[in-house]
Copies of this chain bind each other. A is one copy, B any other.
Amino acid sequence: MEKFMDFKEYLAKISRYEQALSLIYWDLETYAPENSVNYRSEVLGELSERHYNLFVSDTIAEYLDYFSQENIFNSFCEQDKALIKVTKKEFEKIKKIPVKLVRKLAQTTTKANHAWKKAKECDNFNLFQPYLEEILVLNKEKADILGYENNRYDALLDLYEPNLKTTEISKINEYLKENLTPFLNKLLEDGEKPQDDFYKQNFDFNKQKQLSLEALKFMNFDFNSGRLDISVHPFTTKIGPRDVRITTKYSPLDLRYSLFSTIHECGHALYELNIPEAFFETPLDEGASMAIHESQSRFWENFIGRSFPFWNFFSPILKAILNSFEGLSIESLYKGVNIVERSLLRTEADEVTYNFHIMLRYEIEEALINDRITTKELPLIWNDKMKEYLGIVPPNDSLGVLQDVHWSNGSFGYFPSYMLGNLYAAQFNSKLKQDVPDYSLELEKGNATSILTWLKENIHQYGKMYEPQELIYKVTGETLNPKYFVDYITNKYTEIYNI
């Protein structure tokens, strides 16, 4: 149908602005000289506005109205139907939010981000609190505009994890708390904590880079369609079709940081790189949701990168590149990347404790959005919850309530995606083990082909065609079930900690 081709060409036009914007963002985080930042922001503003105007337009509205007519819609194949649905959902969501609010949010978060950095630096929550308050007010306004049935937080959650409700997250939280809290306590009281001092050295950055490159080679990362660079915080960005760039950071304190960051980001990258050409430059050319995306990065980082079979393969490579660790067994190296600790920082948390960090953030966000607590109370509430869930209290707010950038960026509703990513990953992993029973044997030989193929066929190839709940059901035959995660954690760490 010619009209549908025109529609796709118009979507491609919109996508080209996204590609330019992505490149500018990537450049700002990697190579842009310091003094260019203010002027570059104006370029971002200009292209973003143009992008917005192309998308929230009568042109798109007309296309969508036309293609949504029942008899016409039904004539499309599944993929084209998905394209229409996904575009429509996005269009209606963005259209609802007044430009004035978008601008106000942008202005406020720019200031808030600045204030947050300062507050963190000076360990002074009060410097950030007024901005956080303003962001909260705007987010509540946004949630009310977007609409919800039972819980205002649902509206924000839906921005990151479509159709998942607050009640569902709360249920998951309870299940995890119930099952993981006693396990964590047992682990730390009765278990044998492995050694990991050997990782905490200042290894030459070139050698760390070589290690990252070896990990990427193992993962089949295609350097003709991507890059590895350095940035302050590791990230993945899809510039456009066949160009997905990841970054890492080499730490002088801990070898594990860069290696697992690289593997994590490459997990994101493989997802984007495996989306089929037919979806290029359309809204289907991305992951199903933030959480499904995170399931891919966490799968590679933890389920593969922190697995024994992988270390069986990777240990000799590691030893050769570092020209070190001679006396250490594969088991020691493996156990050393699986240390469980009551720690202060989310980004440094292990697999077992990670979700607790999310739960407390989720509970705080949800209570803020529903006016049950105030921003002024946050430091106290944060510390109470840290004590309750993790058994430690931050010595200061910089290492506590001020640690994450998200709220200063206006991202309320985002945190649960991290937790959900872990749960999805465990559920996918369980199905993968059923479908490819000997994947561990291949892994031991450094062969990831079966895994890659499975991920591609079951998840990656669909891009954004399916909503997360549809996808997990399609792949595993059931809806999201936190049991898989709990089973995985208890099995793995019972063995490692010898309890």
Contacts and interface: CB of A to CB of B under 8 A. Distances in A.
A19 interface: yes
Nearest to A273: B35
A42 B12 contact: yes
Contacts of A239: 32, 36, 40
A242 B50 contact: no
A85 to B, nearest CB: 25
Interface in A219-252: 222-227, 229, 239-243, 245
A42 B46 CA distance: 19
Stoichiometry, copies per complex: 2
A328 to B, nearest CB: 32
A43 interface: yes
A420 B229 CA distance: 41
B23 A224 contact: no
B240 A33 contact: no
A280 B39 CA distance: 10
Given A224-B33, A242-B33, A39 B19 contact: yes
Contacts of A224: 33-35
A39 to B, nearest CB: 5
A33 B245 CA distance: 9
B19 A23 contact: no
A43 B16 contact: yes
Interface string A6-20: 000000110011011
A241 B20 contact: no
B16 A20 contact: no
Interface string A191-227: 0000000000000000000000000000000111111
B46 A243 contact: no
A24 interface: yes
A47 B42 CA distance: 16
Contacts of A33: 223-227, 242-243, 245
Nearest to A19: B43
Contact of A40 (B19, B35, B222, B280): B19
A13 B46 contact: yes
Contact of A39 (B13, B35, B40, B243): B243
A33 B222 CA distance: 9
A27 interface: yes
B42 A225 contact: no
A81 to B, nearest CB: 25
A238 to B, nearest CB: 10
Contacts of A34: 224-225
A243 B36 contact: yes
A33 B281 CA distance: 18
Contact of A20 (B43, B229, B281): B43
Contacts of A27: 23, 27
Interface in A30-86: 31-36, 39-40, 42-43, 46-47, 50
A454 B59 CA distance: 55
A42 B419 CA distance: 38
A47 B243 contact: no
Contacts of A16: 42-43, 46-47
A39 B223 contact: no
Contacts of A222: 35
Interface of A: 12-13, 16-17, 19-20, 23-24, 27, 31-36, 39-40, 42-43, 46-47, 50, 222-227, 229, 239-243, 245, 280-281
9 contacts: A13-B46, A23-B27, A33-B226, A33-B227, A35-B225, A36-B225, A36-B242, A40-B239, A40-B240
